Chain A
Amino acid sequence: MTSALILHPGLVLIGGALLLPFLRGTARSAAVLAIPALALISLWLLPEGELWRIAWLDYELTPLAVDKLARLFASIFALMALIGGLFALRQENRLEVPAAYVYAGSAIGVTLAGDLISVFVFWELMAVGSTLVIWSAGTPAAWAASRRYVAVHLAGGMILFAGITGHILATGELGFTAMETDSVAHWLILAGFLINAGAPPLSAWLPDAYPEASWSGTVFLSAFTTKTAVYVLLRGFPGTEILIWLGLFMIFYGIVYALLENDMRRILAYSIVNQVGFMLVGIGIGTEMALNGAAAHAFTHIIYKALLLMSAGAVLAATGRRKCSELGGLFHSMPFTTLCGTIGALAISSFPLTSGFVSKSMVTQAAIDGHLQSVWLLLAAASAGVFLHAGIKFPWFVFFQRDSGLRPPDPPASLRWAMGLFAFLCIAIGVWPQPLYALLPYPVDYAPYTAAHVITQLQLLLFSGLAFFVMLDALKRTPTITLDVDWLWRVAGPAIARSAHEIWQEARARLAEASAARAAAVGALLARHRQPGGLLLRSWPSGGMALWVMVMLLANLLFYYLG
């Protein structure tokens, strides 16, 4: 430690979260806002470099190491915690915000970790925090979802742990630096990271779990897990080609399922997978421009996705409904929420003058610069698809379309402030991208607002918008459910287990005669020896013990004399 004044921003959040349960009323509200603000300030007071060194076993851990990339992600995480905390001020459940702060703090911990062990520790803590956030929704569906969620993440954590152990044993190096996919250990690490990013084949945990959290919980969930995964991929595996194809898969997977989906928050959850796909493509391309683009896109994505989910959360809190087919016409009574939701929708569609435009175009530009025409083409097509599912579909079905007759008022001030601040940021970054570009890890030599960029994007948006209204009837959602890979473990798994059970029953019936006697004998043996005097519970008499002593002595003597 170089100076006593250095605070670990992640630990500030986690420590603050542990303090929150003891506070009530105004003090609690003040603390909810002050803790992430303090984390943000302490983050910006940190100089660059490895700040903490801790000896553990034979290794030196560096749980606090700062560079531009780490500071960028840690900043947006802390900012997200602050605005999310503001949004959740009226949340009645007292567990959710502390859990979310532990979650956010450990996400910051991952970004500031300079070695793989610290990464792993915070990674697991993040899984715990996020599970608690889902769990605190308190519904049976949330409870079931949180269990599936934690199972996926524990499995991912184990894969990651195995990879990290292999890496350390093979190289003796702890440092978290760029790796090649040249050994099993590194593949395992990559797999562990990708599971958190929502990459196939396990993408389904994300839309399965996130929409089950409370109206404010989903806002937190959308920000940290996947973007932390983007961060570790940026740092650990830049330029790994497979990420391009995984990313493209995720982009289209997200679009298709989001178009089919009826639940408004599930639409947005699928669109997280889709957006993380863009970031993965950027990481996979691996040029400085692409990496900058991925980092910038993660930054802006957190803001507009949180904004979208806040508007959805406000609707959910006001109406208690979450299906598109049951909503509509809310702009009459919730004009402010409608405005914010629309700004978020425009940003996610990369409308010029919004934050999405200045970040996503960097990734597409990198694809052009790298002469990856097919990738560029697919990205362009996907941009249109994003506009369809998130840019128009979400606001149209929730706030406009036919009037559902619902007239809930705009949400209370704390929610409006949170949405307003993020809506402002969406526009501000879109209009003045330079401050964001200055934060990026590499120097930026890119002007988003050239005539060609703007016109291409506008054309794309206009035609896909046109397509939406032409095909509106086909897109009208009916109350359906959409099958996804999670069907495998939610339905198929149990079904297989049941049929396996039946087969087992049959086999057992057949085997019964052969094995029953033997099994019964083992059972009886155990039972017999569990009685007083049995082998398992016996108290040995002195004579028997002395006999063993003699046996041991003789054995030792024999071995020594002959040995």
Chain B
Amino acid sequence: MSLSAQLPALQVVLPLLSAPLAVLLRRGWLAFAVVTAAAWAAFAIAIGLWLQVDALPSNGVISYHIGSWAPPWGIEYRIDRLTSFVLVLVSGMAALVLPYSRASIAREIPQESHYLFYAMLGLCLAGLLGITITGDAFNVFVFLEISSLSAYVLIALGRDRRALAASYRYLIMGSIGATFIVIGIGFLYLMTGTLNLADMAARIGAIESSRPVLAALAFLTVGISLKLALFPLHQWLPNAYTYAPSAVTAFLAATATKVSVYVLIRFYFSVFGDSLVFHKLPLPQLMLWLSLLALFAASFIAIFQDNLKRLFAYSSVGQIGYITLGLSFDSVNGLTASIVHLFNHGIAKAAIFLLIGALVVGIARPGAAPPAPTFDRLAGLARRMPLTSFGIVIAGLSLIGVPGTAGFISKWYLVLAALEKGQLWLVGAILLSSLLAVAYVWRFVEAAYFQAPPPGRELKREAPLSLLIPAWVLVLASVWFGLDTSLTLGSAVEVAEGLVRHRP
């Protein structure tokens, strides 16, 4: 068979292999080279798969049988437009974060642990890609564990001692979430006798109102909500993001929660069938209210944070609210908004966390370890690091949803979906919550642009280019995708129509 037919397997295998290789090589730069090469290869493969899906007729699926065992007995990798979209996002983020991480972790992680960092990042990438690509329920769980375990290690690598506690809490919560997911999958296996998601979807229609299936849905919903930090199950997230190394925060913020959203969409729309989830159960209302709570509570809490990283971590919880809000509408526009926001928020937030990583390098005393980016250290930062500050502002505008940035597109579709439902008050709520985003972004602007720098910090001292270039690629991307929406919106609409279409 030709290489192009094996791309689905290579997509996961290459990053997976790079991790043990990095451990064996031990040397920091060798590990870096191996994992970076794997990430770039994964990105290239994701683009290759994208093109392959493109070549298929609309809503076509690439089905790859691991070991040539035919599904539903063997494990199947299924790639449709949505899968491919998320694969590109995840692998693309890894491909950008890895070059950044070399200069960033040099200051944040002890030299002797560098190879571990790369190995874990490779593993985490493999896990996330695996969750996305696989068509097998148990396989989802396995890859989820791979990505989660490596994420715990990555967070614990942060030099702040609180990182350890944050990682430990995340471990407990993540394990509960994973257990819930595996219980849910177990129930489904029990009832349908299959682990293949497509097969499961075909069989579940007959028994969808039985109690075990409902229990499975509840366990999966809560388990996945935990992983995607849906309010009020978000409590692990702020500390984990705050104390993890900058590169890790950026990577996880852009990918881990987004992949969880992907899993949720898969289960809700593909497996359970939306008639059960959206018509027979009060789940949409539940999700609507939790999303609104997330929008307001998390964004409100964000305003009062003293640590910039923690501020944006809470902002992430709020922004995830937009994504789940879109899901709860159960309409093409709503789902489109969710999928587009998954992407747009991913790049904007990753840009911000990467820039914060550059920022802590700038405010560190020469030779010393980077301090926490608390607001008292940010006064007058714009004069010291103009590019970094300006980048954060632009990405912040995308979080607010200013026209011309990517964030506007997703909000626009959310508003359209709310109007479609005739719920004007929801439009008001969406716009009002944007004001909260204005408030927390403004806190940064005020500190960086309007406060005088403390004495001795007036000199311009921009972060190294190796940190700025990957971050600015994302900043520009979040403007680009606000203007040219053919890639994001085009595929999101196609996916949403495909998923919502099979309505009786």
CB-CB < 8 A to B281: which residues of A? 559-560, 563
CB-CB < 8 A to B286: which residues of A? 555-556, 559
Interface of B is mostly: helix
CB-CB < 8 A to A546: which residues of B? 172-173, 176
Contacts A56-B485, A544-B235, A549-B222 hold; do A560 and B217 have CB atoms under 8 A apart? Answer: yes
Q: Is the CB of B304 within 8 A of A530?
A: yes
Q: Of the 9-residue stretches B54-62, B125-133, B225-233, B431-439, which lies at the interface with chain A?
A: B225-233
In the complex, A546 Cα to B172 Cα: how many Å? 9
- At the interface, yes or no: B282 with Cβ under 8 Å from chain A? yes
CB-CB < 8 A to A537: which residues of B? 304-306
A residues apposed to B, CB below 8 Å: 55-57, 526, 529-530, 535-537, 539-542, 544-546, 548-549, 552-553, 555-557, 559-561, 563
**CB neighbors of A among B289-346 (8 A):** 301, 304-306
Q: Is the CB of A559 within 8 A of B173?
A: no
Closest to B300 in A: A536
CB-contact partner of A539 in B176, B226, B239, B306, under 8 A? B239
Contacts A536-B301, A560-B214 hold; do A545 and B282 have CB atoms under 8 A apart? Answer: no
Chain A nearest CB from B178 CB (Å) reads 12
Q: Is the CB of A552 within 8 A of B173?
A: no
CB-CB < 8 A to B218: which residues of A? 553, 556-557, 560
- At the interface, yes or no: B40 with Cβ under 8 Å from chain A? no
In the complex, A537 Cα to B238 Cα: how many Å? 10
Q: Is the CB of B222 within 8 A of A553?
A: yes
Chain B nearest CB from A488 CB (Å) reads 28
Q: Mark B220-248, 1 if CB is under 8 A from A, else 0.
A: 01100110000011011011000000000
Top 5 A-B pairs, shortest CB-CB distance: A540-B235, A556-B218, A560-B214, A563-B282, A536-B304
CB-CB < 8 A to A557: which residues of B? 214-215, 218
B residues apposed to A, CB below 8 Å: 162, 165-166, 168-169, 172-173, 176-177, 180, 211, 214-215, 217-219, 221-222, 225-226, 232-233, 235-236, 238-239, 280-283, 286, 301, 304-306, 409, 412, 483, 485-486, 489
Chain A nearest CB from B164 CB (Å) reads 12
In the complex, A535 Cα to B305 Cα: how many Å? 11
CB-CB < 8 A to B162: which residues of A? 539
In the complex, A55 Cα to B486 Cα: how many Å? 8
In the complex, number of A-B residue pairs with CB atoms less than 8 Å apart: 86
Residue from A526, A553, A556 having most chain B Cβ neighbours under 10 A? A556
Contacts A526-B304, A530-B304, A559-B283 hold; do A552 and B214 have CB atoms under 8 A apart? Answer: no
Q: Is the CB of B233 within 8 A of A549?
A: yes
Residue from A57, A548, A549 having most chain B Cβ neighbours under 10 A? A549
CB-CB < 8 A to B412: which residues of A? 57
Q: Is the CB of B485 within 8 A of A561?
A: no
In the complex, A542 Cα to B221 Cα: how many Å? 20
Residue from A530, A539, A557, A563 having most chain B Cβ neighbours under 10 A? A539
CB-CB < 8 A to B239: which residues of A? 539
Closest to A557 in B: B218
CB-CB < 8 A to A563: which residues of B? 280-283
In the complex, A57 Cα to B415 Cα: how many Å? 14
CB-CB < 8 A to A548: which residues of B? 232-233, 235
In the complex, A555 Cα to B232 Cα: how many Å? 13
CB-contact partner of A542 in B169, B222, B409, under 8 A? B169
CB-CB < 8 A to B211: which residues of A? 561
In the complex, A535 Cα to B166 Cα: how many Å? 17
CB-contact partner of B166 in A57, A539, A544, under 8 A? A539
Q: Is the CB of B485 within 8 A of A553?
A: no
In the complex, A541 Cα to B173 Cα: how many Å? 10
Closest to B290 in A: A552
CB-CB < 8 A to A553: which residues of B? 180, 218-219, 222
In the complex, A555 Cα to B280 Cα: how many Å? 16
Chain A nearest CB from B167 CB (Å) reads 12
Closest to B242 in A: A539
Closest to B168 in A: A542
CB-CB < 8 A to B238: which residues of A? 539
Chain A nearest CB from B107 CB (Å) reads 25
Chain A nearest CB from B405 CB (Å) reads 14
In the complex, A537 Cα to B282 Cα: how many Å? 33
Residue from B225, B235, B483 having most chain A Cβ neighbours under 10 A? B235
CB-CB < 8 A to B305: which residues of A? 536-537
Closest to A539 in B: B239
Q: A530-B306, A557-B215, A557-B218 are in contact. List 10 more A-B contacts (CB 8 A).
A: A545-B172, A548-B233, A549-B180, A552-B232, A553-B218, A556-B221, A560-B215, A560-B217, A563-B280, A563-B283
Closest to B232 in A: A548
Q: Is the CB of B280 within 8 A of A545?
A: no
Q: Is the CB of A559 within 8 A of B282?
A: yes
CB-CB < 8 A to A549: which residues of B? 173, 176-177, 180, 222, 226, 233
Closest to B211 in A: A561
In the complex, A56 Cα to B217 Cα: how many Å? 38
CB-CB < 8 A to B489: which residues of A? 57
Q: Is the CB of A545 within 8 A of B304?
A: no
